[in-house]
Amino acid sequence: MTNHYDRDFNQWAQATAQLLREKRWDELDLGHLIEEVEGLGKSERRAISSQLERILIHLLKWEYQPQRRNDSWLDSITDGRIQIEKIIQDNPSLKTFPAVCLPADYADARRYAAQQTGISIDQFPLECPYPIAHILSADWLPSPQSDDEKH
């Protein structure tokens, strides 16, 4: 069955499910099955990280370009928060994961925000200025930076 995995993943998955239902343990492609089960958790963590990065980009833009604020940014922030909340509801063991990935996601978000806004990356704090609880809070947005604070 290993060659099904390499040639047609869907067929392999269906055949594996059938073998599991029929308790035909000795016929299972355990190596690939273990790899796929481990990958399930990775995909949930990747999804949280991706949504967190998206939220951070828009929070930075919201704070540093108040004159350009728009509903699209707000929609993106709101949707990212909702998506993370849904993933955590389905996977309570990932509740603390956003705080774990925050430093790396912020570093990427900082770089993308600089590219998207044309603001020098040096104008954005090196470390995330927002507590994770605020980032994920449905009703929190950063205040705009004054000109004195930007320099």
Q: What is the tens place of the pLDDT at every residue in 67-107?
A: 999 999 999 999 999 999 999 999 999 999 999 999 999 99
Q: What is the pTM assigned to this prediction? A: 0.81
Specify whether the CB–CB gap between 111 and 84 falls below 8 A.
no
Predicted local confidence at residue 144, as pLDDT: 78
Across the range 25-38, mean pLDDT stands at 93
Q: Determine which of 24-33, 45-54, 101-110, 138-147 has the lowest per-residue pLDDT on average.
A: 138-147
pLDDT tops 50 at residue 148 = no
- Amino acid sitting at position 39: G
Percent of the chain with pLDDT over 90: 83
In three-state form (DSSP H/G/I as H, E/B as E, the rest C), the secondary structure along 99-131 is HHHHHHHHHHHHHHHHHHHCCCHHHCCCCCCCC
Q: Which helix (H) or strand (E) element contains residue 144? A: none
How far apart are alpha carbons 5 and 68 in whole angstroms? Answer: 49
How far apart are alpha carbons 126 and 147 in whole angstroms? Answer: 18
Specify whether the CB–CB gap between 31 and 46 falls below 8 A.
no
